[in-house]
Amino acid sequence: MTAAPRRGRPGYDRTQALDAAVAVFIEQGYDGTSISALAEKLGVTKSALYHHFDSKEAILAEALSVALDGLDTVIAAAEQAPGSALDRLTHAMTEAVRLLVREKASVTLLLRVRGNSATERAALERRRDFDARVAGLVSAAQAEGSVRSDVDSRTAARLLFGIVNSVVEWYRGDDAEELARDVVAIGLDGLRVR
Amino acid sequence: MTAAPRRGRPGYDRTQALDAAVAVFIEQGYDGTSISALAEKLGVTKSALYHHFDSKEAILAEALSVALDGLDTVIAAAEQAPGSALDRLTHAMTEAVRLLVREKASVTLLLRVRGNSATERAALERRRDFDARVAGLVSAAQAEGSVRSDVDSRTAARLLFGIVNSVVEWYRGDDAEELARDVVAIGLDGLRVR
């Protein structure tokens, strides 16, 4: 996490320029933001932006890689975690919530990607890989009998991560631990008292 | 639901023009789509679009009202449903899933609204009202003891509707009944076997 850049002040460093660009993409939409509009919004010249990045798509690729690399790390660590398949699934959900709170801007951008460029299509492909690996954890938990089998494993994975991903849309706090506990509680045990 | 309009054929009727515009907004982003680009994509003239709609924002308002009026109907019916507060919450989730499957395009657009115009801000305000009323159902269910009280009612409402809303991002089937059962099963009872 870097400090918010001061608006209108020229001479962002590379990280600040990236953070500021991501904020503009989230506010106005990636497709709706030209490099000219981006430079104007940041109060810098187009050539100042081109000093740091080859293109608008290069900015997007770098911003998305934070979320995508983070998700790779989360799922790889979960797959190798000790314990039951249910423990590994719980691990994936908990670490994903932590990642979403820590890298909210990059994940927000990732969840809005629509596939209109090669960078976006590659990002969607990596998201599909992540989803398939979560479904694999659900399948393994179904096989060990710890998770209900009356819901298709891919559907269950999508619904569980529907809970996780919703966090970027509404969560404004900074207690990722409490949030992760709530997400796991609802996803695994549900809201109903029994 | 209207049939997909034939691309490039002039002379959409009003409903077809609206559906086609919504599809373009979803694909390219609302902010990123000018009226000119929209007309070009639809293979009609700008004046043909202006024949049906006053502005781009008027198209958005009409498209969003399908989802927003639908959510109003869902929550009002749920609040008045017989039975326990938990029954009313279940009713809201089930009917929301049916609405999302039936009016997927409008709801998808609503979930991507960012608040860059008066129409979008009004839509966000109506979404907040819906969220608050779902939280009210959760609170009532907590008070009757049917729903766990260790998760804040607003957080629980957000997480439950995180499951519901995720549907527009990935669901491609047409069996809203099975989907609604899965959403309610995960949201209320969780994935874990006990």
Taking only the tens place, the pLDDT of each residue in A149-160 is 999 999 999 999
- pLDDT at site B10: 52
* C-alpha distance across the termini of chain B, in Å: 41
* For residue A6, pLDDT beyond 70: no
- pLDDT at site A86: 97
Q: Which two tokens stand for residue A33?
A: 């933001």
Superfamily classification of domain A59-189 = Tetracycline Repressor, domain 2 (1.10.357.10)
Please answer yes or no on whether B27 and A191 come within 8 Å at the CB atom.
no
- pLDDT at site A28: 85
Work out the average pLDDT over A18-45: 90
pLDDT band for A1, please (50, 70, 90 cuts).
very low
Q: Which two tokens stand for residue A81?
A: 């975690």
Q: What percent of chain A has pLDDT over 90?
A: 77
A115, A6, A80, A187: which is closest to B186 by C-alpha?
Answer: A187
Write down the mean pLDDT value for chain A: 92
- pLDDT at site B107: 97
Cβ(A158)–Cβ(A131) under 8 Å?
Answer: yes
Query: Which of A27, A156, A194 has the CB atom closest to B191's CB atom?
Result: A156
Query: Which of A156, A166, A170 has the CB atom closest to B186's CB atom?
Result: A156
Please answer yes or no on whether B186 and A183 come within 8 Å at the CB atom.
no
- pLDDT at site B174: 86
Q: Which residue has the higher pLDDT, A88 or A5?
A: A88
In chain A, residues with a C-beta closer than 8 Å to the C-beta of B139 are: none
Burial class of B11 by CB neighbour count within 10 A (0 to 12, 13 to 18, 19+): exposed
Between 1.10.357.10, 3.30.390.30, 3.40.50.620, 3.40.1640.10, what CATH number should domain B57-189 receive? Answer: 1.10.357.10
Phi, psi angles (nearest 5°) of residue A32: -80, 0
Work out the average pLDDT over A48-65: 94
Q: Which amino acid is at A17?
A: A
The residue ranges of every structural domain in chain A are 14-53, 59-189
- Residues A113-127 have pLDDT tens digits of 888 899 999 999 999
- pLDDT at site B4: 52
As for the ipTM of the complex, it is 0.88
Q: How far is CA B58 from CA B42, B49, B105, B109, B117, in A?
A: 17, 11, 16, 14, 11
Write down the mean pLDDT value for chain B: 92
Q: Report helix angle B153-170 to B176-184, nearest 10.
A: 150
CATH number of this structure's domain A14-53: 1.10.10.60
Ranges of chain B whose pLDDT falls below 70 = 1-11
